[in-house]
A and B are shown apart, each in its own frame.
Chain A
Amino acid sequence: MHVHELNPKKTLWTLILFLLVIVVGFITMKRPLLNYEISLQQTTKILKDTSNNCFYPYQLADVLNHKNKNVVLIDLRNKYAYGLGHIPGAKSIPAFDLTHKENVDLLKGYKKNGVSVVLYADNQLAADGAWLFFRQVGFCNVRFLLGGYNYYKAHKDNLEQTKSDDSYLKGIARFDYARMASSKAVTSASQKQKKPVVFHRRKKVAVAAGGC
């Protein structure tokens, strides 16, 4: 009786070829210096937990008179701005050099030793992106300086007293928007009504159909 059989030798060769492809894949795979350590969901949680994220200007005082040795300041501005003036003791790592291996290793070392890293730039916004980036790749010891260098420069001599100041805080409404936007308005009710917002929803990504 003839029964069609597979040729085991050929099958083995094919499988070895398959194995080779996987080996090549492992060899050519790009191993990025940094990987996302936390998911997007966790990131949104971190954004809410402000106390762990920010570093207040009055906390700088302890760092500057060496009471708090567990904090490293990193200046993200370019070398020129750093040269013109910086917070004493701050390390200069221009933002674009952050991806260099030695700088990443440096940050990893700080993380290992439990040292807090405070990033600052001219203002909070300029350091915000880099800070959020480092939190997402797993540096939970990274914070940003509220107010940034500009605020520090203006209050260099009375850092302790800035406790009561809140002008450097971000994210709070400085005005009563609704009143402000309409106080001068003698608008009729019809104008106040919100117009229906027209927008386009993105279409679902089409996937190629197929099947056997």
Chain B
Amino acid sequence: MGPIAINGLISANLNLVIAVFLGMGFGFVLEASGFSSARNIAGTFYGYNFVVVRVFFTAVIVTMVGLLYLSYFGWLNLSQIFILPTYLPSMITGSIIMGVGMIIGGFCPGTSFAAVAIGKIDALFFAIGLFIGIFLFAEVYPLIEKFYLSGYLGHVTLTDLTGIKPGWWAFGFTVIALIAFWVTASIEKKVRKKIKEYKF
């Protein structure tokens, strides 16, 4: 609740309560859109199910376009929105590890908890592994701290880096996403025809 919390409209305690409800909503949407199934997530990489891509892209473009409009209406102050600080090398490494983990495990951190909630055993083990990973990371942190903090770019946005208006980024990304929807749909069709004989 970034902009609202900063302006003192809600207190820190209420912020926590709201966070609980937001978390519930997030989990509900994850489950409702089928993210709690490892098959749906891993399916993206095997080409028979792109629902994850579609849901994520939809969320991204709706948020992106929506934020620009809200800021235009004066309902939202974009300068007070949290921007994740960019550490280039560690972010690239991290996303590779995460991608590999998603293919192997079939979950991403958030969806694994949604799946634990509906009683999936594979998700339970995934979540346990997640904690072990966090523990290991914390233990070796002194060794990799230098790499972890390298290439710091600050809280930058694409607009800051390139000087291109956010509208163009939003438009470009939306076009890419919309093309991706139709391309993935056709890929799905083809792949599913081929794998008819396999039974899940």
Binding site for B on A (CB under 8 A): 1-6, 11, 15, 18, 21-22, 25-26, 28-30, 205-212
A18 and B62 within 8 A (CB): yes
Offer 18 A-B interface pairs, CB within 8 angstroms, sorted by A: A1-B196, A1-B198, A1-B200, A2-B200, A3-B40, A3-B51, A4-B40, A6-B54, A18-B66, A25-B75, A29-B73, A205-B6, A207-B2, A207-B6, A207-B82, A208-B1, A208-B80, A210-B82
* Residues from chain A with Cβ under 8 Å of B82 in the complex: 207-211
* Residues from chain A with Cβ under 8 Å of B192 in the complex: 1, 3
Binding site for A on B (CB under 8 A): 1-2, 5-6, 33-34, 37, 40, 43, 48-49, 51, 54-55, 58, 62, 66, 69-70, 72-75, 80-84, 110, 155, 192, 196, 198-200
B58 and chain A: residue at smallest CB distance: A11
B5 and A5 within 8 A (CB): no
* Residues from chain A with Cβ under 8 Å of B49 in the complex: 3-4
A4 and B73 within 8 A (CB): no
- In the docked arrangement, what's the CA distance between A17 and B96, Å? 36
Asked whether A206 and B51 contact (CB < 8 A) given A1-B199, A25-B70, A26-B73, the answer is no
B80 and A205 within 8 A (CB): yes
Asked whether A4 and B51 contact (CB < 8 A) given A25-B73, A26-B73, A29-B73, the answer is yes
B55 and chain A: residue at smallest CB distance: A6
- In the docked arrangement, what's the CA distance between A18 and B51, Å? 21
* Residues from chain B with Cβ under 8 Å of A28 in the complex: 73
Asked whether A208 and B5 contact (CB < 8 A) given A28-B73, A29-B73, the answer is yes
A30 and B74 within 8 A (CB): yes
B51 and A6 within 8 A (CB): yes
Question: Of B55, B73, B80, which contacts A207 at CB under 8 A?
Answer: B80
A212 and B110 within 8 A (CB): yes
- In the docked arrangement, what's the CA distance between A197 and B200, Å? 75
